[in-house]
């Protein structure tokens, strides 16, 4: 029978959702493995504590075929060992499920990757509606000086596979070079000879 219709209010500036019932907070200690420079992670943890990297605000909806799930993500500005703050990133457990991202505030980059390592990047700013096709892993990066906020909507039965990306990362890293984002090859990513 599905669910009861409802509307939530989203603040486009800060990404807050009225009466969200699912809030995820990702602090540096929880997402440390996404960064290349583990010594830099240790330094930040001991010098300034466990900084907030990103939050996700969503609605508690059933993860069923036919439902459309949605949330906002707020990535705080900052770098770790030269890499910009980023989400963990994932494939959908059902690889044939896509997604839509809409930029609301701040500046970011969407990284997309196929399982053979083919990589694409899409700059995101307020108003950018990005299409994530089926089969593409996706990660977002805050490349600006203020929180990067975006909205996502995806099929209820997509599921999330974090393990594959946790093991290898994406094929490229997004680093700050002369104050601007640059993509450089990730030495940890397995490349075919």
List contacts with ligand PAN (CB under 6 A).
56, 71, 73, 87-90, 99, 138, 140, 152, 154, 160
CA-to-CA dists, residue 148 to 15, 38, 108, angstroms: 9, 24, 6
CA-to-CA dists, residue 30 to 70, 78, 111, 166, 184, angstroms: 23, 16, 21, 12, 24
User: Nearest distance from residue 157's CB to ligand PAN, in Å?
Assistant: 12
Residue linked to tokens 């059933």? 62
Closer to ligand PAN by Cβ: residue 120 or 160? 160
User: Nearest distance from residue 170's CB to ligand PAN, in Å?
Assistant: 11
Give the closest residue to 63 by CA, choosing from 164, 154, 165.
Answer: 154
Three-state DSSP at 84 gives strand
Closer to ligand PAN by Cβ: residue 146 or 153? 153
- Give the dihedral of Cα atoms 66, 101, 79, 121; nearest 10 deg: 110
- Show Cβ contacts of residue 167 under 8 Å, excluding neighbours closer than 6 positions: none
Closer to Zn ion by Cβ: residue 83 or 99? 99
User: Nearest distance from residue 94's CB to ligand PAN, in Å?
Assistant: 11
Closer to ligand PAN by Cβ: residue 44 or 90? 90
User: Nearest distance from residue 23's CB to ligand PAN, in Å?
Assistant: 12
User: Nearest distance from residue 92's CB to Zn ion, in Å?
Assistant: 6
> With contacts defined by CB under 5 A, how many residues of the chain interact with Zn ion?
1
Contact assessment for residue 133 and residue 92, using Cβ atoms and an 8 Å cutoff: no
The interface region with Zn ion, picked from 25-33, 34-42, 73-81, 94-102 by CB under 5 A, is 94-102
Closer to Zn ion by Cβ: residue 99 or 107? 99
């Amino acid at each position: 029978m599905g669910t009861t219709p409802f509307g939530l209010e989203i603040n486009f500036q800060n990404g807050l959702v009225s009466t969200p019932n699912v809030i995820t907070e990702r602090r540096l200690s929880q997402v440390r493995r996404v960064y290349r420079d583990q010594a830099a992670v240790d330094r930040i943890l001991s010098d300034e504590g466990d900084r907030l990297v990103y939050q996700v605000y969503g609605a508690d909806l059933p993860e069923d075929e036919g439902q459309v799930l949605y949330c906002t993500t707020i990535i705080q500005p900052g770098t770790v060992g030269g890499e910009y703050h980023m989400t963990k990133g994932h494939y959908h457990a059902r690889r044939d499920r896509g997604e839509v991202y809409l930029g609301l505030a701040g500046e970011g980059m969407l990284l997309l990757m196929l399982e053979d390592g083919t990589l694409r990047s899409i700059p995101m700013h307020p108003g950018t509606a990005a299409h994530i096709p089926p089969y593409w892993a996706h990660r977002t990066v805050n490349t600006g000086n203020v929180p990067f906020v975006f909205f996502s909507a995806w099929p209820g039965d997509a599921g999330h596979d974090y393990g594959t990306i946790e093991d290898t990362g994406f094929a490229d890293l997004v680093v700050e070079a002369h104050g601007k984002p640059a993509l450089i090859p990730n030495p940890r990513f397995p490349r075919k000879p």
